[in-house]
Structure 1
């Protein structure tokens, strides 16, 4: 099995679905009169639905050159939806879409994910993936911020009368804000901070918090699907944020294995 092919298909299968769902969520937040923006969102939904379908047709034995071309095609689509999201953010911040219901932070959030996706595809095609120590810090800086945002969105989209759940979401928001600052501090201390003991503790601590948030999201998703709590959270959005927490946990587990010497010799991550 070609590792380049496997990693490329894994990224595209996961993130193309995320991009497709972003298109749906943005479209739901536009006003009735925003027909052009709604049409653009619908077009992106169709584009990424087709990309997702095609990604599952490829096999791990597919010619790497075919996957490289597919990566390039998908990267262009990811760049286009990134530009659309930034355009929407600009319109919102300039008060040109009064009454629409997409939070500015949410639009920025989904644009960061599109940027992450296109950069990952570029790295795969160029063969310039980050060294493990840098990947550990940069992936955590990115995903911790994503998790912090999710906690804020959940807190704001739950009905205010769900006081206990709103308080739990606020606590997760505060927890992950602190973890983001810790990750940024560790990043600023590079390369001296990139020792096995520090990185191992960093990964372990973050994993504990992400597991707790993942479980909270799962509970919220199940309660929303069963109509047992009051909120304006779309059931698909609840599942969407749960899947992203699962993705982060998967990445943290891979880092933990590498730091433990399962896949990467410890000497390779010492400066």
Structure 2
């Protein structure tokens, strides 16, 4: 049960925060007249915030340095970005969770108590229930946008994008509850998923920058094109049953992570013209950090999502 507990905690540390922020972005994007949709988005935001808070309480001394040092849980910009986003949108953000995450100590326990296993099982069930609701909600939002029955400041592709991430999170929780572990059995599928996520990040950044930010727009467009070419190369490689694109995934994502980090600093320092919420900039940076950690694990020969490394 040790692996079940640790992988559950590691999964929620990353994904519960991501879902909490998806809910905030959806809430901020909706017109004032959409009172029911806004109310439901706020309920999901609070639900995932509560789940993340429970996860952090369980996490101290339970996860490895690879997770805590990766920048996928929090970055140097997260707390500032949260405060700025709360001020700009009027949506409450509990920055004490971020402060607690910054203080987490690493550890690799040899065993776990029955009480801890029970708490984690209850947390998994709670998060799964929240996820099922959020996925249905995102599907409803997307259907209304595509049928021109709802206005939102989010691109339809962004809604599809965050739906895919929510479904991946749900898949991981279901694997944990069914098998007690998450096996990364197919590196190519993992890379294809996250390379598409990175490509779409570049496309969103390109479209949310002010037209005067010509160099940044050009850079974002370059990353979008590079990831598009990489995804095409991966399809061709799959037909040949090879894995030559892995090194390119690492190199390109390292470069994109640096671009995102500089962009997040520029947005939080108000040095970049855009309509990008500070927390959205930090959000996509954390996802790049998460993907880089997965790629590093693959280089080290691991087939698991985490586990005390």
TM-score of the alignment, normalized to the shorter chain, above 0.5 = yes
> Cα deviations across residues 14-67 of structure 1 (Å, max 9, x unaligned)?
100000000111111111111111111101000000000001122543533442
- Range with bigger deviation, 243-252 or 116-125: 116-125
Give the corresponding residue for 1:223.
266
Structure 1 spans left out of the alignment, 5+ residues = 265-271
Is the 1:5–1:62 contact (alpha carbons within 8 Å) kept by the matching residues of 2?
no
CA root-mean-square deviation: 1.9
2:281 to 205, 229, 238: 238
Give the corresponding residue for 2:170.
118
Q: Indicate how the Cα distance of structure 1 residues 183 and 67 shifts in structure 2: closer, same or farther if over 3 A, else same.
A: farther
Q: Whole-Å Cα distance in 2 between the matches of residues 208 and 62 of structure 1?
A: 41
Matches within 5 A, 1:74-153: 74-98=127-151, 100-127=152-179, 132-134=184-186, 136-153=187-204
Q: How far off is 1:128 after superposition?
A: 7.5
Give the corresponding residue for 1:36.
36
- If asked which structure has higher relative contact order (CA below 8 Å, sep 6+), I would say 2
Is the 1:141–1:184 contact (alpha carbons within 8 Å) kept by the matching residues of 2?
no
Matches within 5 A, 1:138-177: 138-177=189-228
The number of aligned residues is 250
Is the 1:162–1:230 contact (alpha carbons within 8 Å) kept by the matching residues of 2?
yes
1:25 aligns with 2:76: no
Is the 1:203–1:255 contact (alpha carbons within 8 Å) kept by the matching residues of 2?
no
- TM value normalised by structure 1: 0.87
Is the 2:172–2:182 contact (alpha carbons within 8 Å) kept by the matching residues of 1?
no
Q: Indicate how the Cα distance of structure 1 residues 138 and 19 shifts in structure 2: closer, same or farther if over 3 A, else same.
A: same
Q: Indicate how the Cα distance of structure 1 residues 122 and 172 shifts in structure 2: closer, same or farther if over 3 A, else same.
A: same
- TM value normalised by structure 2: 0.76
- Range with bigger deviation, 118-127 or 235-244: 118-127
1:10 aligns with 2:10: yes
Structure 2 spans left out of the alignment, 5+ residues = 63-111, 304-309
> Cα deviations across residues 68-93 of structure 1 (Å, max 9, x unaligned)?
33222211211211111111000000
Is the 1:203–1:256 contact (alpha carbons within 8 Å) kept by the matching residues of 2?
no
Larger fraction in helix: 1
- Range with bigger deviation, 49-58 or 68-77: 68-77
